[in-house]
Chains A and B, each alone.
Chain A
Amino acid sequence: MKAMLPRLVFWCINLWIIAYTLVIGISLLLQFVGGELPCPLCMLQRYAMILSTLGAVWIIRQAQRGVLTWDRYVQDLGLGALGAFAGAVFASRQIMLHILPGDQGYGGAVLGLHLYSWAFVTFCVVILFTALLGIIAPAAIPMAPARNSTADRFSSAVGLVFLAVVAINAVMIVFLEGFAWVLPDNPMGYALFGH
Chain B
Amino acid sequence: MDIIILFLLLFMGLAMWRGAPRWLVLTCWFGTLLLMIGLFRFHVTSSLGLSF
Contact = CB atoms under 8 A, between A and B. Distances in A.
Interface residues of A, number: 42
B32 A51 contact: yes
Contact of A41 (B10, B16, B32, B43): B43
**Most-contacted residue by chain A among B19, B22, B25, B43 (CB, 10 A):** B43
Given A48-B36, A50-B9, A65-B19, A174 B3 contact: yes
Interface string A30-66: 0000000000110110011011001001100100010
Contacts of A79: 29
Given A163-B10, A170-B6, A61 B44 contact: no
Contact of A177 (B3, B17, B36, B50): B3
Contact of B42 (A174, A176, A182): A182
Contacts of A159: 17
B36 A47 contact: yes
**Most-contacted residue by chain B among A90, A99, A170, A176 (CB, 10 A):** A170
Nearest to B22: A72
A173 interface: yes
A173 B29 contact: no
Interface of B: 1-3, 5-7, 9-10, 12-14, 16-17, 19, 22, 25, 29, 32-33, 36-37, 39-40, 42-44, 48, 50
Pairs of residues from A and B, 6 with the lowest C-beta to C-beta distance, nearest first: A170-B6, A58-B16, A40-B43, A163-B13, A50-B9, A170-B10
Interface of A: 40-41, 43-44, 47-48, 50-51, 54, 57-58, 61, 65, 67, 72, 79, 82-83, 86, 89-90, 93, 96-97, 99-100, 159-160, 162-163, 166-167, 169-170, 173-174, 176-177, 181-183, 185
